Amino acid sequence: MANDLSVRELVRTFGDFTAVDDVTFDVPQGSFFSILGPSGCGKTTLLRMVAGFDEPTSGTIAIRGTDMCGVPPNKRPVNLVFQHLALFPMMNVAENIAFGLKRRGMQSAEISRKTQAILERVDLPGYGDKRINQLSGGQKQRVAIARCLVMEPSVLLLDEPLGALDLKLREQMKVELKKLQAKVGTTFIYITHDQSEALVMSDRIAVMNNGRFEQVGPPRELYSDPHTPFVARFVGENNAWSGTVEEVDTHVRIRTEEGLLFRARSHDAYPAGTRVDLFLRPEALRIEPEGKSLNTFKVTVKTILFDGANSRLLTVTPKNHELLVSLPQNRQFDYIQPGDIITLDWHPDSGLCFEA
Amino acid sequence: MKSGYRLTLWLFLAPVLLWLFLLIVIPHLDLLLMSFRGESGVGNPVWTLQNYKNFFTEPIYWRTFVRTALYAVITTLCTFVLALPVSFYIAKLARPRTRGFLTVLLLLPFWVSELVRVYGWMILLRESGVFNYVLLKMGIIHQPVEMLYNDVTMIMGLVYTSMLFMVVPLISVMESLDDSLIEAAYDLEASKFAILRTIIIPHCKPGITSGAIVVFMLALGNYLTPNLMGGKNSLWFTEQIYNQFIASFNWNQGAAFGFLLLVLSSLIIWTGLKVTRQRLGEVAS
Ligand SMILES: Nc1ncnc2c1ncn2[C@@H]1O[C@H](COP(=O)(O)OP(=O)(O)OP(=O)(O)O)[C@@H](O)[C@H]1O
Ligand SMILES: [Mg+2]
């Protein structure tokens, strides 16, 4: 499949600070690509270079195979949905959407037809005459996206467009955005610092940290097989535990600081004596397993963090190391009370360790 | 409690009301009365509309007014065209420290009186002035050129005097313009001119209007600059008023002209607001 966007060895420095550091990636046509990273890691800087508002210090950006070096934003086949939407308050909804088409010099009958069509696409039929300040947050959101989609860009860039919405609406818009993308088939490049947004919507995610891409892959892969400790910490929830490698066979044997011995997985073969960090997902920990294995140990329940399907136990080991454990809401463990001592166990493949 | 509050309110308002009354209402009432007075054939004071009639029957008067109004409009337009890029640069492009410096630079000419400013221009532009000297020395011209006493120079002088009153309101509205709106328009394939026309000017409308009103009124009511830089045959309406008061001692006629200036200029501004579909209340807020 053809790539809509190819970025090669992209660097952007501000003085002696490197905001985007040697980033290379491809986005195939029609896919939903997310860039996930903490605040200040260089996401907006990267996107602004793709949109043409900023020039790279070095490296190349190609859209549909055409090099974009020196091409101004109004000549690039990409459109950007701004972090704060940037709808034009002096125009109504229809005028906002028609803005780009008018600049192209399109016939006004054609413009109004396209405007109607796109408003229906984003489920806002008949909203053309409303003023921007009469819209709700979610509606503004969709107008901003419609205003870009009507231009039929090769690539649609979205800079944390859900950031300003409240939680409930954000959950709803996540699903709607994904559906919309599937419907229109435009390539989306979506920036966010919210890992759940990225995981739900994307075909592929790039995890960014300090200007670099740490790992690029499908959501499931990032979650189940993080390549760096940063990804392990940032994508999904993880318990971290430090220890020392004792022995390596098919798995690594790790002795934690408080003397527990575990078997876990690692990407590299670490020699005995290496200090490592062990990462364990809350849902990898099984409560009161049948049988016994090397990875079985006992903890004390400190509190129950009830959150519906996402409920967890906050537990501590005898040496006061805190661990989060998923608590399935199938009534099996309703008897557990704070202060109880429970047995936990996990499969050696679900614990991953990295050199500390 | 309530009456105490009332009393304080009146106490604070009193100086303002007094000032308004003494300096604006009373003199204007007096002028208004004066403008309707005249002398009968035998020299007795009578009520008459003659002073107003004169304005419309004597072509020199209303032509001067039309000329003055037209030039004031031209001055306003020129000031706007010059002030727009200047204020855009100060509000959007300059770094914060440069911004303060540039604003002070704009204020600086207003430290000296208008008279001194106009004489400054005259020193530069007159036949034996600095410009002529330099141009002669450089061999660009071979004979000194008279650059003063024409309409172009006069308008330039008026624009120079009015600049600040356009730039300040424009800077303040431009500062409230979100940069991302400009970028969004640029991203949606707008050219620089289209951005100016569809985003920047509509956003700045209140500032443009208030700046334009001030500049127009200042130019219309200016006396020094047109008089000194405009030369003998370029009459400004304020000169007519001055002449009536001082030269012909016809205070009644002068008062009538003064009122006509007030009414006609208000009419022009009202038309301007109607044409651009604005209201004075919106502009002031
Ligand atoms: N014009 C600039 N001059 C200097 N430094 C800049 C400039 N723009 C961005 N930076 C720096 O580059 C880094 C990355 O900024 P960027 O806006 O790309 O972050 P981000 O990942 O989008 O963060 P957020 O999630 O908060 O929006 C920041 O540390 C910022 O201070
Ligand atoms: Mg950002």
Whether B4 has a pLDDT exceeding 80, the answer reads no
- What domains sit in chain A, N to C, each tagged with a CATH number? 3-233 (3.40.50.300), 237-355 (2.40.50.140)
Flag whether B144 is in a domain.
yes
Task: Pick from A82, A87, A145 the residue to mutate for testing the B interface (most B CBs within 10 Å).
Answer: A82
- The rounded Å distance from CA A97 to ligand 2 centre is 24
Whether B233 has a pLDDT exceeding 70, the answer reads no
Contact yes or no for B210/B284 (Cβ under 8 A): yes
Mean pLDDT of chain A: 90
Q: How confident is the model at residue B228 (pLDDT cuts 50, 70, 90)?
A: confident
Whether B136 has a pLDDT exceeding 60, the answer reads yes
Does the CB of A106 have a partner CB in chain B at under 8 Å?
no
Q: How confident is the model at residue A42 (pLDDT cuts 50, 70, 90)?
A: very high
| CB-nearest partner of A74 from B178, B191, B203 | B191
Pairwise CB contact (< 8 Å): A99 & B183: no
pLDDT given at position A283: 92
Q: Whole-prediction pTM value?
A: 0.80
Task: Pick from A71, A78, A90, A97 the residue to mutate for testing the B interface (most B CBs within 10 Å).
Answer: A90
Contacts of A333 (CB under 8 A, 6+ apart): A287, A288, A327
Q: Which atom belonging to ligand 1 lies closest to the Cα atom of A47?
A: 18
Number of domains in chain B: 1
State the Cα–Cα distance between residues A59 and A24, nearest whole angstrom: 9
Whether A172 has a pLDDT exceeding 90, the answer reads no
Question: Which range in A163-167, A216-220, A330-334, B107-111 is most confidently predicted, on average pLDDT?
Answer: A216-220
pLDDT given at position B277: 82
Q: Which atom belonging to ligand 1 lies closest to the Cα atom of A48?
A: 18
**Ligand 1 probe mutation, A21, A45, A213, most atoms within 8 A of CB:** A45
Pairwise CB contact (< 8 Å): A86 & B178: yes
State the Cα–Cα distance between residues B214 and B196, nearest whole angstrom: 23
> Which of residues A99 and B21 earns the better pLDDT score?
A99
Domain that holds residue B65: 53-284
Flag whether B28 is in a domain.
no
In single-letter form, the type of residue at position B158 comes to L
Nearest ligand, CA A46: 1
| CB-nearest partner of B187 from A51, A83, A87 | A51
State the Cα–Cα distance between residues A10 and A23, nearest whole angstrom: 5
With beta carbons under 8 A apart, name residues in chain A contacting B189: 74-75, 100, 103-104, 151
pLDDT given at position A123: 85
A212-217 β-sheet, strand order: A78-81, A155-159, A187-192, A32-36, A204-209, A212-217
Percent of chain A with pLDDT over 70: 100
For residue B192, give the chain A residue with the closest CA: A74
Q: How confident is the model at residue B169 (pLDDT cuts 50, 70, 90)?
A: very high
CB of residue A42 inside a 6 A radius of ligand 1:
yes
Q: How confident is the model at residue B284 (pLDDT cuts 50, 70, 90)?
A: low
State the Cα–Cα distance between residues A304 and A315, nearest whole angstrom: 9
Flag whether B237 is in a domain.
yes
Atom 9 in ligand 1: which residue has the minimum CA distance? Answer: A45
pLDDT given at position B137: 87
Contact yes or no for B162/B218 (Cβ under 8 A): yes
A vs B: CB pairs below 8 A: 58
Whether B37 has a pLDDT exceeding 90, the answer reads no
Does the CB of A99 have a partner CB in chain B at under 8 Å?
yes
Flag whether B23 is in a domain.
no
CB of residue A337 inside a 6 A radius of ligand 1:
no
pLDDT given at position A268: 85
Q: Which atom belonging to ligand 1 lies closest to the Cα atom of A193?
A: 25
Whether A1 has a pLDDT exceeding 70, the answer reads no
ipTM of the complex: 0.81
Q: What is the pLDDT of residues A272-312, one digit of tens each?
A: 888 999 999 999 999 988 878 888 999 999 999 998 888 99
- The rounded Å distance from CA A3 to ligand 1 centre is 27
pLDDT given at position B234: 67
Does the CB of A88 have a partner CB in chain B at under 8 Å?
yes
Distance from CA of A149 to the nearest CA of B (A): 11
CB of residue A84 inside a 6 A radius of ligand 1:
no
Whether B1 has a pLDDT exceeding 70, the answer reads no
Lowest mean pLDDT among A74-78, A90-94, A108-112, B44-48: B44-48
pLDDT given at position A219: 94
Flag whether B184 is in a domain.
yes
Flag whether B9 is in a domain.
no
pLDDT given at position B211: 93
Flag whether B18 is in a domain.
no
CA A287 and chain centroid, separation: 29
State the Cα–Cα distance between residues B76 and B31, nearest whole angstrom: 29
Over residues A199-209, mean pLDDT: 93
Q: What is the pLDDT of residues A114-151, one digit of tens each?
A: 999 999 888 888 899 999 999 988 899 889 999 998 99
CB of residue A39 inside a 6 A radius of ligand 1:
yes
State the Cα–Cα distance between residues B21 and B29, nearest whole angstrom: 10
For residue B191, give the chain A residue with the closest CA: A74
The CATH number assigned to the domain holding B74 equals 1.10.3720.10
For residue A54, give the chain B residue with the closest CA: B183
Flag whether B132 is in a domain.
yes
Distance from CA of A293 to the nearest CA of B (A): 58
Please give the structure tokens belonging to residue B200.
């920047």
CB of residue A211 inside a 6 A radius of ligand 1:
no
pLDDT given at position A150: 92
Which residues from B are below 8 Å from A when comparing CB atoms? 178, 180-181, 183-191, 194, 198-199, 202-203
Does the CB of A131 have a partner CB in chain B at under 8 Å?
no
What 3 state SS string does chain B have? Answer: CHHHHHHHHHHHHHHHHHHHHHHHHHHHHHHHHHHCEEECCCCCEEECCHHHHHHHHCHHHHHHHHHHHHHHHHHHHHHHHHHHHHHHHHHHHCCHHHHHHHHHHHHHHHHCCHHHHHHHHHHHHCCCCHHHHHHHHHCCCCCCCCCCCCHHHHHHHHHHHHHHHHHHHHHHHHHCCCHHHHHHHHHCCCCHHHHHHHHHHHHHHHHHHHHHHHHHHHHHHCCHHHHHHCCCCCCCHHHHHHHHHHHCCCHHHHHHHHHHHHHHHHHHHHHHHHHCCCCHHHHHC
For residue A78, give the chain B residue with the closest CA: B187
